[in-house]
Structure 1
């Protein structure tokens, strides 16, 4: 099983971000450490006898956490669940100078994989994206990360306003030259409720046209493959063996516990969800010993839909036998056969006895394909 730990606080709220993140002037570190440990113990009591394959500290900005809090959570987690010998423990970090100075402490706490939110490799776009760091800070943080962690990934957002194929080619060439074993490369999406959504609705934010977006996607695939950073998921690229094992647990519909504000979990067919607002979550943990608002069994059809949505993002697609074992349903039972056949004929999808997968030509259209083929 996997464990997700949500730290909801950020220095600023980025204008494209719809994650459960909040800006607070002060944080009671002791109260938060104790509450996370309490929420963790509650989950552990409901998942006895399991082994822990991965821990992921996400957010928000988990690199704002004191390293002592990270160490306490890791120690408690591997006490509740015996860890696999090669357990993957990831922490997301923002590259401001204050946070990157903590990297040695995070490594000492047990973090063995760092995911760094660079997002862009020029100051103008970093400012436009609302990032609290400049390029010099970002590159310095990357150097420090590579000195302290054997496995480092970083994020970039492309398809940004004003981006051309030439500008992305230069930026991506620089990115793959840094030598990390994993890159997360996301096309900018306009999410409801964000400041970018409001600007876009007013015509004050223009994205590249669809043809340029398609060219940027194709260029990304070609350049990362040439650097042996293979696209194992629509937006994630890794050297062989360096794939995010934690994220693969989501995409292959494994069990995972989620603690902290807004965290979701999937354990043995049961969905869990926690209070989103930090203060509400903290009050709930203090009062009841956990922060949950939802703990409900998922019907086989719901599990099947979730697995389809997650698994089709993978280059390897969905294994039919695993689908049956995790949902109780045959994969073919939730598909529209006529539409699947049409999309297969278009060269965008493969469907056989082993399972279902997008072709390289189909991967840019994962969302559209899902809407077509699911019952």
Structure 2
């Protein structure tokens, strides 16, 4: 693989495994998920294993994996032995780089009841725990199956075997005040997690919340109020030494930043396995997109055919690299954008955004300012061809 390419595994190489089943589907969730029932999971596991093998055949020159991420859905419902099997297959297919990050998304109740040592023995070295809130009324509103006490217990239990762990919270909920969010976030910070993912509630049309909003039963928070809470979030996290290293993600240090997500934001390669999983791969110097069939049954059937690669145009690559590369605080090299598109970023647009205080340039790198993060998507669109 040529180091001169402006995208690809030189900027990170990861593996995403999507486990689509959940014990309960949350009303805000727009992911590709299905209710967990009594079922034989072996056919899906076998399909994921075969999918990994055929990707290995397509990518003989790729380096060892820097990260493996079990997402969902609720992959903490998987048996530890099945997690171990997939980690072993990943290592056998590509190798694991020294210090490779292996993340498991987990619900608090699973963290409380699981054999955490078995997860660690399977290869997991990072947990991403979906607390979503530390307020019982908010958890009921969000349709979660745990309470605040269980959330705290889960984080305390995880911290021993998994010092590298992250917690997710959802804020900007309808009617949420700045005072209540400040108290809740401060409470979450007291748990000592070295990484936080803090997301504003988004009402998607096809979700249960989206249907309630369409009927007028749920009123999303106004954009200006959301922006105020976002700015408050930055103030609180910076005061607690967990500054944002990406629009929605905060870490104590570079060591606790998500290696896997950095691969996305830096324009690296990742394999997407499991129903509905997306991937980005560099094959023979060209960037391709992959998208697995969303329904588990269709996904299992599709493994009998060669994987579909959708070539990305230069414009696709430029727009995607800008949209992703602007999100982390490190920004992105403008020369990489020019190398793909053949022309530099528009100087007048860059100058206008910089004078407006929305972007900053550091040498050849362009990055969002704190104010610019509130308008990340708009800024990426303005800079794109």
Answer whether TM exceeds 0.5 for this pair: yes
Q: CA offsets, 1:224-247, max 9 Å, x none?
A: 111111201000000112100000
Describe the SS at the equivalent of 2:34.
coil
Mapping of 1:116-195 within 5 angstroms? 116-195=129-208
Query: Which position in structure 1 is the counterpart of 2:119?
Result: 106
- TM-score in terms of structure 1 length: 0.93
Query: Which position in structure 2 is the counterpart of 1:246?
Result: 260
Q: Is the 8 A contact 2:171 2:201 kept in 1?
A: yes
Q: Is the 8 A contact 1:67 1:109 kept in 2?
A: yes
Structure 1 position 319, deviation (Å): 1.7
Q: Is the 8 A contact 1:89 1:112 kept in 2?
A: yes
Query: Which position in structure 2 is the counterpart of 1:46?
Result: 58
Structure 1 residue runs of 5 or longer lacking an equivalent are none
Query: Which position in structure 1 is the counterpart of 2:298?
Result: 280
Query: Which position in structure 2 is the counterpart of 1:96?
Result: 109
Query: Which position in structure 2 is the counterpart of 1:77?
Result: 90
Q: CA offsets, 1:112-156, max 9 Å, x none?
A: 000000000011110100112222222222122112212110100
Alignment of 1:364 with 2:374, yes or no, is yes
Query: Which position in structure 1 is the counterpart of 2:357?
Result: 347
Q: 1:317 aligns with which of 331, 340, 362?
A: 331
Structure 1 position 98, deviation (Å): 7.4
Q: CA offsets, 1:229-288, max 9 Å, x none?
A: 120100000011210000000000101111111111111112111101111111222x33
Q: CA offsets, 1:84-128, max 9 Å, x none?
A: 111000010111257742433211101000000000001111010
The separation in 1 between residues aligned to 2:109 and 2:274, in whole angstroms, is 24
Q: 1:308 aligns with which of 308, 315, 322?
A: 322
Alignment of 1:257 with 2:275, yes or no, is no
Count the aligned residue pairs.
367
Q: Which has the higher contact order (CA 8 A, sep 6+)?
A: 2
- TM-score in terms of structure 2 length: 0.90
The separation in 2 between residues aligned to 1:336 and 1:198, in whole angstroms, is 41
